[in-house]
Amino acid sequence: MKSCVSLCRPGPNVLLLLVKPSDFTEENRKTLKFILSLFGQDAFRYSMVVITDKKSGTHSTVNQLIRDCGGRYYNMFESDHRVLMQKIENIVHENKGTFLTFTEETIRPKSEHIKPSLNLVLCGRRGAGKTSAAKAILGQTELHSVSTSSECVKHQGEVCGRWVSLVELPALYGKPQEAVMEESFRCISLCDPEGVHAFILVLPVGPLTDEDKGELETIQNTFSSPVNDFTMILFTVESDPTHPAVGNFLRGDTDIKNLLQSYGGHYVVLNINDKQQIPELLDAVEKVRPSKESCSYTTETFARAQIEKIIQQDKHLTTLQSELKDLKTKNKDSCDEEKQSPESRESQVGKKT
């Protein structure tokens, strides 16, 4: 952004928002709105929508964006492009020739500091509710999907005054090792360069299934012990999360208690239909992040974990080889002693006579 603005110093007089209505989603509109906020709270006064699609029709997301821009728009397929220049000049005139400047602070009260962005990975077994959790966190009813549920997918949006990236990690349990490693590395790569600030393990409130346990073991084996420092558990419900039955279950189920202990007791029970709980969830995420230099799980962390596993496997193999060698030596010595024993020699003499 800074580089772009530097090419039109001292700053842009007009922002042209090129939009293809057939592909423009509500998520795109929110992303665009966030980017414009970097120019300050008056950015829309300097903006105009430019439609780049021949197809006509009503698109609510585009219409909302046009309203945000004060009704200003232009269709690229109009024959007279002088109209575009006239509309641009009108924007400049309305703003008395002033220009926009780039700021790293978004639209917030001056007393409130902008919070840093968050990169989160949602993990869990198939059917655990990762997509529902992503919709609840981002406040979106529709999310970008991929062609297959076995691929990572990244969602983004502004949540509680900060930019949040959510990566859905597909279920890993039962997959070939190559596929597990590929998707695991890809999910970390989608959070480059900052890395993953927190892994959110999504579980419905209920006893752990064999698939849950298999998924947990696969995640632990793949990302290794460092992942524990960045993980919290998100229990999802569709009713009151403070209901006594929920608390009684979490306190009474042995598997759940052991699981919570392994992740430092970091968890939230979220009613996915209650938007008021999202700030509580983000606060919990902040508490998970280690208060040390390594405040995120990066591709470098992942690589180091794999190298450490190889080293440990190599040490284990060396130990086994050493033990096997000792065993062979003992067996050989035992055989030699047996051949040299008096009983063995007398037996041989007896046979000769």
- Is residue 133 classed exposed, middle or buried when 0-12, 13-18 and 19+ CB atoms within 10 A define those classes? buried
At 76 the pLDDT is: 84
At 56 the pLDDT is: 57
Higher pLDDT, 347 or 177: 177
pLDDT tens for each residue of 50-73: 988 776 566 788 888 888 898 999
Q: Kindly tell me if the per-residue pLDDT of 39 is higher than 70.
A: yes
| Pairing of the two strands 153-159 and 162-168 | antiparallel
At 148 the pLDDT is: 60
Kindly write down the DSSP assignment for every residue of 292-330, as one continuous string: SS--SB-HHHHHHHHHHHHHHHHHHHHHHHHHHHHHHHH
At 107 the pLDDT is: 40
Instruction: Please provide the average confidence, as pLDDT, over all residues in the chain.
Output: 83
pLDDT tens for each residue of 78-125: 777 888 899 999 998 888 778 787 655 444 433 345 577 899 999 999
At 196 the pLDDT is: 93
pLDDT tens for each residue of 235-284: 999 888 889 999 999 999 999 999 999 888 899 999 988 888 999 999 89
* Torsion of the alpha carbons at 103, 109, 115 and 119, rounded to the nearest 10: -80
How many Å apart are CA 126 and CA 204, to the nearest integer? 11
Using the structure block, give the residue that is written with the tokens 């549920």. 149
pLDDT band at 144 (very low <50, low <70, confident <90, very high): low
Using the structure block, give the residue that is written with the tokens 């047996």. 338
Higher pLDDT, 211 or 22: 211
Nearest residue to 305 via CA among 182, 195, 185: 185
pLDDT tens for each residue of 199-232: 999 999 999 999 999 999 999 999 988 888 899 9
Higher pLDDT, 192 or 115: 192
How many Å apart are CA 239 and CA 200, to the nearest integer? 20
Residue type, 13: N
